[in-house]
Amino acid sequence: MLRDPAQTPSDEPPDDHARFMRLFLSSEKEIFRYVAALAPRAADAQDIVQQTAIALWRKFDQYDPAQPFTPWACRFALHEARQFLRRDQRWGAFLGDDLVDDLAARRSALGGEMDRRFAHLNDCLQKLPPAQRETVESYYYRRTPVEQLADATGRSVEALYKALQRIRQALLLCVARAMKADGEAS
């Protein structure tokens, strides 16, 4: 069929872009968790994921659809994380490339076991006492800054950080127990 070439838009890449978006969005959480193993502060991890997204898009023409996207993307994320950690004085400075590599490799090795361990995280969150649940939800889900949360609840910032630590420990205990029960059941 005859087709006027001028009628076929070719000067824009949005279809590629949409394809990229789909792939990226499907991997985004895993990239975030991968990066967070190295740079745990949520805002830092988010920054690194953002830089990773830009880097991935620049190199997207080199991505071979025959390979799974997430591992390809994680290589870029590791590179971005290294760059970030080298500049970071509070935590990154003490990690060093050796420990970064060890942690990244060990996390990959733990892959399936991580999923099993956290399979019951949702249930465990539901089981938290209401006050703890409210705290964890405000902090993680609504992203309320701790200072603001302290103001709103009349607690000190230190007390809130301590509370968060306790909640996380309770959750770890809960998921570990649930995993053990799963193991015994099967």
CA–CA separation, 110 vs 134, rounded Å?
30
Structure tokens at 41: 């502060």
Nearest alpha carbon to residue 33 among 108, 126, 135, 119 = 108
Q: How many residues bind another protein (CB under 8 A)?
A: 76
Point out which span in 64-72, 75-83, 121-129 binds another protein (CB under 8 A): 121-129
DSSP reduced 3-state for 37: coil
- On whether the CB atoms of residues 124 and 62 are closer than 8 A, the answer is no
Point out which span in 10-18, 65-73, 75-83 binds another protein (CB under 8 A): 10-18
Gyration radius of the chain's alpha carbons: 21
Distance in Å, CB of 175 to another protein, minimum: 7
Residue 51's CB: how many other CB atoms inside 10 A? 17
Question: Binding of another protein at residue 169 (CB under 8 A)?
Answer: yes
- On whether the CB atoms of residues 171 and 125 are closer than 8 A, the answer is yes
Interaction with another protein in 17-46: which residues (CB under 8 A)? 17-18, 20-22, 25-26, 28-29, 32-33, 36-37, 40-46
Among 58, 75, 177, 180, binds another protein (CB under 8 A): 58
- On whether the CB atoms of residues 96 and 56 are closer than 8 A, the answer is no
Interaction with another protein in 82-101: which residues (CB under 8 A)? 89-91, 93-96, 98-99
Question: Binding of another protein at residue 150 (CB under 8 A)?
Answer: no
Question: Binding of another protein at residue 170 (CB under 8 A)?
Answer: no
Among 86, 122, 131, 134, binds another protein (CB under 8 A): 122
Binding flags for another protein, 64-83, as an x/- string (CB under 8 A)? --------------------
Nearest alpha carbon to residue 79 among 65, 57, 97, 63 = 97
Structure tokens at 125: 């969150």
Question: Binding of another protein at residue 152 (CB under 8 A)?
Answer: no
Interaction with another protein in 128-147: which residues (CB under 8 A)? 136-137, 140-143, 146
- On whether the CB atoms of residues 127 and 138 are closer than 8 A, the answer is no
Question: Binding of another protein at residue 57 (CB under 8 A)?
Answer: yes
Question: Binding of another protein at residue 63 (CB under 8 A)?
Answer: no
